[in-house]
Amino acid sequence: MTPRIAGHALVEALIAQGVDTAFGVPGESYLAVLDGFHQHADCIRFIACRQEGGAAFMADAQGKLSGRPGVCFVTRGPGASNAAVGLHTAFQDSTPLVLFIGQVASDQRDREAFQEVDYRQMFGPGTLGMAKWAAQIDSADRVPEYVARAFHTALQGRPGPVVLALPEDMLTTPTAAPVMPRAAAATTWPAPDALRGLQALLTAARRPLVIAGGSGWDAPACAALQRFAERWQLPVGCGFRFQDTFDNRHPLYAGDVGIAINPKLAARVRDADLLLALGVRLGEMTTGGYTLLQVPRPAQKLVHVHAGAEELGRVYQADLLIHASMSQAALALETLTAPASPPWRVWAGAAHADYEANLVPTPVAPLDLAQVMKTAQRLAPADCVYTNGAGNFAGWLHRYVQYRGLQHHGRTQLAPTSGAMGYGVPAAVAASLLYPERTVINVAGDGDFLMTGQELATATQYGAGRGRGKLVSIVVDNGSYGTIRMHQEREYPARISGTELFNPDFVQLAQAYGWSSERVDRTEQFEPAFARALATERPTLLHLKLDPDVITTRTTLSAIRSQAQQRKA
């Protein structure tokens, strides 16, 4: 192969992996790679973001939407530190991602040179680490090898992030090394004995419940899951922030198993005599702080199916552990012969009835976020992508928006199971840039928005939301870090400290970034404002002013404070 500098070879290796978009913040430590993007601008684009955390969140969204590793480039030291929030999110969310970090030149190594960090130590793999693999490429001739291994590692088993450090002098070294073939995930089919064991447990059950979620699902797998559930008449809940794994409108859907779970669904999880966990990690959020299932041995019979062998038995001692890829496990479930008349039909019907009853909100004035969410979904296209970061505001999105299964429109929910604030805006920008034909709606709290709101500039610069698909950011402003304020009132009633916020005029801020914007104070103002947002040629921010007392979909700060004071009296 014709020699070229390693920075160009790296870009060629990305193209060979099917990458057409990379996100990042430029740095002098990887100028040779930036020149490679210029050299191959007809095949791949580099999206220059405003902060490395936002860039890493965009790459995470890319990984979630495509199922292939998202790609992010940052410079050394401060750049890598800023990107850590996105790396941690990708790790906890099981998102394939490759983070490339510019590094000091080889002749400066181990002197604590300018911005020098050992990224193998900083991000090194471990049970509770931040990356599946962290390495440094010291030889230009091995660049394609390392890139191929990074993509393989990010995709295999439980997907996750990989870190590659790039010494500055290595990137300018000529190499004739050829690029490697496109990486693909190796898939595993459930063992025949395991499938027979699962069929026996299902046949003996009277109150079974499926909890599906996690990464690694594709459209055929989600369609197969639905057929399996229909054949067996099984109620299906979705794990925390994986609500688009199963069609929420389906008569067997039971709701989302996560933060602010429907109390009736929580009781149903506890009362089940068999839980079939498909792809979910059974972490703190999905298990209600490890209370819905007892640790280490649940009261319910438990079958756990997961692509990562290290996840099986990590927390819960299940009755049956099945190591299998979701793309294969769901198809395997279809081979199981169901009874002619499952005895839990009434149980399944009641689970869905509880879900539908939970969609009925208690009216709130003057601004009802439940009606806001319902209105947005009614007016938005069916393939709309919804994004959010972290905060109590997300409870309205999770409770009232009904997601379709992946077999209909692909991923439609982008949200951090890691609980990372600031995720929603960058994720929405990335989704709009990657799929310009799809409308994207971001819902953000005021504190959440201001962590990465500068990425509105990235959206404007690269034309997000200007095609057939629209880009809308709904900022819910209650002037506080609401989630922390809620916990503060519960533990230390009426003793407010550190949770009040001064906010800018979000309407003017958005306009300064080139967005359209409006303020909404009352429920009846939202529908016409949102309709205008869907009709405009620019991305739009809607600033919703919410009473701070309206803290969750079920209660108020006043009620929480009163209950806490009575408890402490």
Q: What is the pLDDT of residue 1?
A: 78
567 DSSP 8-state letter: H
Q: What is the pLDDT of residue 222?
A: 97
- Output the average pLDDT for the chain: 96
- Distance (Å, whole) CA 85 – CA 272: 36
- Distance (Å, whole) CA 356 – CA 364: 19
Query: What string of DSSP letters covers 209-260?
Result: EEEE-SS---HHHHHHHHHHHHHHT--EEEETT-GGGS-TTSTTEEEEESTT
CA-nearest of 474, 432, 481 to 453 is: 474
CA-nearest of 300, 54, 59, 280 to 161 is: 59
Convert the pLDDT of each residue in 295-308 to its tens digit: 999 999 999 999 99
CA-nearest of 257, 245, 304 to 284 is: 257
Instruction: Tell me the three state secondary structure of residue 175.
Output: strand
Tell me the H-state helices in 2-116: 6-16, 31-39, 52-66, 78-93
Whether 129 has a pLDDT exceeding 80, the answer reads no
In Å, the largest CA–CA distance within the chain is 79
Among 4-13, 59-68, 160-169, 283-292, the range scoring the smallest mean pLDDT is 283-292
Convert the pLDDT of each residue in 471-503 to its tens digit: 999 999 999 999 999 999 999 999 999 999 999
In the block, tokens 């009755």 appear at 319
Q: What is the pLDDT of residue 110?
A: 81
Q: Is domain 369-568 given the CATH code 3.30.70.20 in the classification?
A: no
Convert the pLDDT of each residue in 32-85 to its tens digit: 999 999 999 999 999 999 999 999 999 999 999 999 999 999 999 999 999 999
In the block, tokens 């405003």 appear at 50
192-358 against 369-568: fold identical: yes
Note the CATH number of domain 192-358: 3.40.50.1220
- Distance (Å, whole) CA 30 – CA 73: 9
Q: What percent of the chain has pLDDT over 70?
A: 99
- Distance (Å, whole) CA 54 – CA 428: 11
List, in sequence order, every residue forming a beta bridge with 544; answer none if it has no partner: 476, 520
Strands 301-306 and 274-278: parallel
Grade residue 569 by pLDDT with cuts at 50, 70 and 90: confident
Where do the domains of the chain lie? 4-175, 192-358, 369-568
- Distance (Å, whole) CA 187 – CA 169: 38
Instruction: Tell me the three state secondary structure of residue 306.
Output: strand
Q: What percent of the chain has pLDDT over 90?
A: 94
Instruction: Tell me the three state secondary structure of residue 57.
Output: helix
* C-alpha dihedral sign at 452, 457, 462, 465: positive
Class at the top of the CATH hierarchy for domain 4-175: alpha beta
Average pLDDT, integer, range 444-453: 98
Q: What is the pLDDT of residue 105?
A: 87
Strands 174-175 and 4-5: antiparallel
Asked if 384 and 439 count as a contact pair (C-beta separation under 8 A), the reply is yes
- Distance (Å, whole) CA 232 – CA 308: 26
Whether 126 has a pLDDT exceeding 70, the answer reads no
Q: What is the pLDDT of residue 235?
A: 98
Radius of gyration of the chain (CA): 24
Q: What is the pLDDT of residue 115?
A: 84
Q: What is the pLDDT of residue 203?
A: 97
Convert the pLDDT of each residue in 136-146 to its tens digit: 999 999 999 99
Burial of 120 (0-12, 13-18, 19+ CB in 10 A): middle
Instruction: Tell me the three state secondary structure of residue 176.
Output: coil
Strands 236-239 and 208-212: parallel
- Distance (Å, whole) CA 186 – CA 364: 50
- Phi then psi dihedrals of residue 544, to 5 deg: -100, 120
366 prior amide bond cis, ω within 30: yes
Asked if 196 and 335 count as a contact pair (C-beta separation under 8 A), the reply is no
In the block, tokens 């859907």 appear at 253
Q: What is the pLDDT of residue 496?
A: 92
Asked if 480 and 392 count as a contact pair (C-beta separation under 8 A), the reply is no
Average pLDDT, integer, range 320-328: 97
Answer left, alpha or beta for residue 47, where phi above 0 means left and psi between -120 and 50 means alpha: beta
> First-to-last CA distance in the chain?
79
Average pLDDT, integer, range 252-280: 97
Residues with Cβ < 8 Å from 6, sequence gap 6 or more?
32, 137, 140, 143, 170, 171, 172, 173, 174, 175
Q: What is the pLDDT of residue 176?
A: 98
Q: What is the pLDDT of residue 127?
A: 59
